[in-house]
Structure 1
Amino acid sequence: MISGAHGNDLRGPRWCAQPVTITENIRRRPLVWFFVLANALSWAAWAPYILSENGLGLLHFRFPELLGTSQLAGVLPGAYLGPIFSAYVVTAVTDGRAGLRLWVGRLAKWRVNWRWYVGVVLAVPAVLTASTVALSEQNPMLPAVATLVAYVPGLVLQMVTTGLAEEPGWRDFALPRLQNRFGPLGGTLILGPLWGVWHLPLFFSDWGNWPHWTLLTPVEFVATCVTFSIIMTWVFNRTGESLPIAMLLHTSVNNFFSIAWSQMFPSMSIQDTSHAFLLGSGTIAIVLLAATRGRLGHRAPVLALR
């Protein structure tokens, strides 16, 4: 300490910085908080499933099968706890009731041109069938009648599980903010990898066909999340930010692969689904980028989101 002749402290006044509360921090960095919460909550909820005999086998129990799969009990709770719950919390803190009304409004935006519904339902199987044929050089077989009958109920189930758990977070909350800040292509190129990374722990479970994959498998998955996100962004923007259409697009892929694909291409392996999805989504993404010059149907926002 340096003092004057009379012992006075010459350092000047002391300034005490006010601590930043969690609420203020969320308001300053809503996107960061959303992605951190979505990953932390989902990964924590998935830990028992991954550590169980449905995954690494460190815990000696298995999750029950519901509708022929353990994923409804082991994966779905964590999916609901992650993107949709995190989006709700961050929106409520950041934008209050007005923000929640806007968020829910996109989720409830069912009234779009019927051609979008028909187009998505028909285009997804057509593109994935074409990409599989291109890879395998095999003609598809006609699925059984029971498979065709189960297709629509399966799609409805996918909508209220996977679609509802994920898309209110990725497309409803994150995408508008990312587009307004980084542009449609820049925002999508940020969202796509983060969407893929969120899934990565599940590769150590039945969901990811553990242990029958290589190091390239999750890399290919993340790459596909990027190419598919480009398509999702274009559809979301072109439908006036209709979340039901985005959910339908996402779940149509899951539904086709889980119900019809293996019957149409019985000699193909589960790893081939990843190759077919990447080829199909990558091709469409390139076409959309060229046709829209990277705008992907985005218009300048009326109300900027934080």
Structure 2
Amino acid sequence: MTILRRRPLTSFFVLACTLSWVAWTPYVLSENGLGLWAYRFPEVLGTSQILGVLPGAYLGPIASAFLVTALVDGRPGLRRWIGRMGRWRVGGRWYAIALLGVPAVLLVAGTAQAGGAIVAPSLTALAMYVPGLVLQVVTTGLAEEPGWRDFALPRLQGRLGALRASFVLGPVWALWHAPLFLTEWGGRDTTWISPLNFLIFTVAFTVVVTWLFNRSGESLPVAVLAHVSVNNTASVLWGEMFPTIDGDGSMQAMAAAATVAAALVVIGTRGRLGLPDRAEDRQDLSSDTVTT
């Protein structure tokens, strides 16, 4: 308990990674991963990740954030944490950026990577886009963002500022995903370069999401939608529209897109990423001690 109070962020990061990695171990060892265990996870909705990845995702960021918040900050902290999850009433432009701008930037990057060799998506893919987005919200979005953006980001920003906080959170976010590159999640046609491009992507995209989170008044729904828009575009549209791009090329294109977007955000905000100047506007951003 003393360690949690003195080092809540370190405790959260360690718990989030440890709980998820332990839960993912069977998936990594199975035929869906390294093949050391003669078992294949059954597919649900066309993918083994629902049963192989999702339980560990729920045990990681969101569960760790809830546990550390409850033990360190008590009911007031939980109210702040839950309150950011319900901040839906924000300007429509932030939803437009999350829902339309993010996929648009990725598709432009894919078109450039493919040298203009783009294929129109099928009607099935277009019809599945919105249901896929909803599924991503209640799986990936709910599992991860209450931890990364709702718990960790405000605490990091309170001491480090928005930009440096993003440079801390991005690599941790990438590290949390690391074991999944040994499974079908990472793709069968990828090499060692994909984890490196993924690291670049997560750091750059964290800068963008930090800006969206701050400018929308710490709205977690906006952060969630930005995150799942990437996943949904990659899962539903990318393969059909860019069949000539392999796994490494896809990750490279997404990393490049996120880097350009992050650079524009940093330049446009002079590095503040929308973080309020006035102390009274920062609410609980500095209410926790950062030790990383």
Do these two structures clear the TM 0.5 threshold for a shared fold by scoring above it? yes
Write out aligned runs for 1:277-288 (5 A): 277-288=254-265
Deviations 1:64-118 (A, max 9, x none): 1000000000000000000000000000011000000000000111111223222
Q: Distance in 2 between matches of 1:263 and 1:169?
A: 32
Between the aligned residues of both structures, percent identity stands at 54
Deviation of 1:271 (Å) = 2.3
Number of residues of Structure 1 aligned to a counterpart in Structure 2: 283
- Of 195, 198, 203, the match for 2:176: 198
- Of 250, 254, 277, the match for 2:231: 254
In the alignment, which residue of structure 2 is the partner of 1:85? 63
In the alignment, which residue of structure 2 is the partner of 1:15? none
Q: Distance in 1 between matches of 2:159 and 2:193?
A: 32
CA RMSD of aligned residues (A): 1.1
Task: Look at both structures and tell me which one has the larger radius of gyration over its CA atoms.
Answer: 1
**Cα distance change of structure 1 residues 255 and 296 upon mapping to structure 2, 3 Å threshold:** same
In the alignment, which residue of structure 2 is the partner of 1:305? 287
Write out aligned runs for 1:213-252 (5 A): 213-252=190-229
Q: Distance in 2 between matches of 1:197 and 1:113?
A: 33
Q: Distance in 2 between matches of 1:270 and 1:30?
A: 36
Amino acid at match of 2:98: V
Write out aligned runs for 1:80-159 (5 A): 80-159=58-137
Q: Distance in 2 between matches of 1:294 and 1:125?
A: 24
- Of 17, 25, 33, the match for 1:39: 17
Amino acid at match of 1:38: A
Q: Distance in 1 between matches of 2:16 and 2:99?
A: 29
Q: Distance in 1 between matches of 2:283 and 2:110?
A: 41
Deviation of 1:267 (Å) = 1.9
Q: Secondary structure at the match of 2:228?
A: helix
Amino acid at match of 1:78: G
Deviations 1:167-188 (A, max 9, x none): 0000000000000011111111
Deviation of 1:141 (Å) = 2.3
Q: Is the 8 A contact 2:190 2:247 kept in 1?
A: no
Q: Is the 8 A contact 1:228 1:282 kept in 2?
A: yes
Q: Distance in 2 between matches of 1:145 and 1:288?
A: 34
Q: Distance in 2 between matches of 1:302 and 1:154?
A: 35
Higher relative contact order (CA 8 A, sep 6+): 2
Deviation of 1:139 (Å) = 4.4
Amino acid at match of 1:103: W
- Of 38, 43, 49, the match for 1:65: 43
Amino acid at match of 2:283: V
Q: Is the 8 A contact 2:193 2:248 kept in 1?
A: no
In the alignment, which residue of structure 2 is the partner of 1:54? 32
Deviations 1:214-243 (A, max 9, x none): 222211111110000000100000000000
Q: Distance in 1 between matches of 2:239 and 2:185?
A: 16
Deviations 1:115-140 (A, max 9, x none): 32223211122101111122222142
Q: TM-score of the superposition, structure 1-length normalised?
A: 0.90
Q: Is the 8 A contact 1:50 1:56 kept in 2?
A: yes
Q: Is the 8 A contact 2:198 2:251 kept in 1?
A: yes
